[in-house]
Amino acid sequence: MFGSLKSILSIESDNPELVQAQLAAFTKQVPLLYFILVTNTVALTATHFDTAPALLTLGVPGILYAVCVLRLVNWRLSRNRLHRHGQAVAKLRATQRLTVVLGAVFFAWSISLYPYGDALQRAHVAFYVANTVIGCIFCLMHLRAAALMLTAIVLVPFTVFFSATGNPVFIALALNVALVAVAMVFILFTYYRDFEALIRSQKELTARQAETQRLSDENHRLANLDSLTNLPNRRQFRTELERRLAEAEADGTAVALGLVDLDGFKPVNDTFGHGVGDRLLMEVGERLSAFSGRGIFPARLGGDEFGLIILGCGCPERLRALGEEICLVLAEPYILNGLTARISGSLGVSILGEAGTTADRLFDRADFALYLAKQNFRGTTVVFSAEHEAEINEQGRIQQALRAADLEAEMSLVFQPQVDADTGRVSGYEALARWESPLVGAVPPGAFIRAAERSGLIGRLTEVLMRKALAAAHAWPDDVRLSINLSTRDIVSNRTVDGLLDIIAESGVDPARLDIEVTETAVMRNFELARENLMRFKARGIGIALDDFGTGHSSLNYVHKLPLTKIKIDRSFIVDIATNELSRSIVRTIVDLSRNVGCVCVVEGMETHEQVLALRRLGCRMMQGYYFARPQTLEETLSRHSLPADATKAARKTG
């Protein structure tokens, strides 16, 4: 019971929210509290001024007025001050102590006036005490302990004092005030309980709001953050880019957009597993984040593609140098779970103003620069330029012409012989596409193949060329082979492969006479799907040739996983084969590799007699190049199925 009473009469310091609420509520009541004390005291002093001693009407009240004014000024000056919890508790405890002291002093002073004056003046004393203390208790409703102490210190002695006077009126007044005090205590407990419940509910509401805000912030973070690398995701990257572009428009800040695509990531992912692949992506994110202090905002856009917002740099040369630095960092070995993985990163950059002024335009131009980097300069940086803009415009013109083209009528084929250098016999032809457009004229194969890939027409184009090539093969002897190139998009499109297999089956040409040629770059884009589709061709008896061998990143690692029947050595190794020992060593290695895996080795790009001699000494037999013949029309191939007499003689001498 004692402990319960003690808790009722003390400040609840373990409830910070309640303490702050009590202090705030009481601060608003302080002016009213001292107004009641001062005005009631002035009125009582006035009625006793002529009958009571000056000490009681001037001296003591003057001191009390001064205390009240000082307290009122102190509270007014501190009403907007933010108090820490300890300060608030100390302030409430000081108020509680002062309430006891002032309550006792004011009561003692008023009772000391009782002996002076007539019955009305005595009644005024009783009225003063009852009226003043009830008003003060209402002002202290938020401080339950102070209000209860004031009730005990003033109203209990008041009831006893006036009950002992023997005057029926004062006795009735005392009993009435006692009953009112009981009612007020009940009201006080009820009010304080509701006040405490209100603060508790506000605390819970604040906690729920904080939790809601936390969840909202977490959802916002998750919605704008890549969970694997902890980099901003595509959504956040786009928002940041839009913001930076708006700022740049206002203050002229230089902004560039970079797109990074990892070269060789999928083979790492397929070989070592997705766990290692994820670790590698995390490491890439960390390496890109290291550039954040240099005005670069990195993000993961999806898969193995990353984005960079580059601030404060609009010079192509500086951007190219910065990009090369980034590419070098990305090309450093990755040590993951005791394994060493090697990849590279290609970077395409577009500059605000030179490449466009909108986010979409910058994305499109950076993507084009990235495409050029991956096609021609893997592991390096390409900054979009005016020349690239002209190329895009030309590509757009070609794409429009391609969409409107009658492919059957406008597309044609020429055939480059593949020669057996030992016999001089043409063993097969590689079909090469040509396009003479009535709208744009003759279009180079590289240009219209790229346009067909970007416009989604490549599958249809390949089917048209396949029919034409198979028709040509019908006219050749049965021992002459036909090689047909498939693009990157073709080899990873199940629909296109289905169509080509149907066309081959309907043509009546023996599939064993056919070779499908794919580049290493095309296969590595989606190795597993490309491998599955190549296996489908192989299952029909069709040969598989890996073109441009040695120019990619993972040839030796993956050549044994593909159903290859031919390996074609890229012409870049042939140019100086007669004089460069390193080129000869590379070719010798590839020839040995081909022999060991059971593949026919075909060398491309011979243009001189010296090259042919050097290749023959290295064991190369199957060759293809201008030295033997340039690409020929179907009619020219039909006129002969072996080398011209002089070329045949030259070829035999090399044997």
Say yes or no to pLDDT of 649 above 60.
no
Query: How far apart, in whole angstroms, are the C-alpha atoms of residue 626 and residue 607?
Result: 5
Contact criterion met (CB below 8 Å) for 417 and 398:
no
Query: Does 196 share its domain with 241?
Result: no
- Looking at the domain assignment, is residue 218 inside a domain? no
CA 104 to CA 98: how far, in whole Å?
10
DSSP 562: S
pLDDT, one tens digit per residue, over 359-370 is 999 999 999 999
Examine the domain organization and report whether 345 and 424 are in the same domain: no
Containing structural domain, residue 618: 412-650
Boundary-marking domain end, from 367, 384, 401 = 384
More confident residue, 154 or 483: 483
CB 341 within 8 A of CB 376: no
641 burial class (0-12, 13-18, 19+ CB within 10 angstroms)? middle
- For residue 12, give the nearest of 94, 92, 95 by alpha carbon: 92
181 and 48 in a common domain: yes
Of 186, 206, 226, which residue constitutes the final position of a domain? 206
- Does 448 lie in the same domain as 372? no
Token pair recorded at residue 58 = 């001037």
Q: How confident is the model over 465-521, as pLDDT tens digits?
A: 999 999 999 999 999 999 999 998 899 899 999 999 999 999 999 999 999 999 877
pLDDT in tens, 76-133: 777 677 778 888 888 888 888 888 898 899 889 989 999 998 889 989 998 988 888 8
Number of domains present in the structure of the chain: 3
pLDDT confidence band for 557 (50 / 70 / 90): low
**Region 379-392 average pLDDT:** 88
Which pLDDT does position 1 carry in this prediction? 43
Residue 559 lies in a domain: yes
Instruction: Give me the pLDDT at residue 358, please.
Output: 92
Query: Is residue 645's pLDDT more than 90?
Result: no
Is 404 inside a domain boundary? no
d(CA 106, CA 112): 10
Question: What is 212-274 written as a DSSP string?
Answer: HHHHHHHHHHHHHB-TTT-SB-HHHHHHHHHHHHHHHHHH---EEEEEEEEESHHHHHHHH-H
Q: What's the pLDDT band for 640 if we cut at 50, 70, 90?
A: low
Report field, pTM of the whole predicted structure over 0.75? no
Same domain (yes/no): 423, 378: no
Q: Which residues contact 128 (CB under 8 A, 6 or more apart)?
A: 40, 41, 43, 44, 110
Among 206, 221, 254, residue at a domain's last position: 206
**In a domain? residue 229:** no
Residue 140: both structure tokens together:
């202290």
Residue-level pLDDT at 535: 94
pLDDT at 33 over 90: no
Task: Verify that 170 and 255 share a domain, yes or no.
Answer: no
Q: Is residue 400 part of a domain?
A: no
The reported pLDDT for the residue numbered 550 is 65
Residues 183 and 252 in one domain: no
CATH number (domain holding residue 251): 3.30.70.270
Tokens of 243: 């913001």
Q: What is the pLDDT of residue 552?
A: 53
Q: Flag whether 95 is in a domain.
A: yes
| Residue 367 domain-assigned (yes or no) | yes
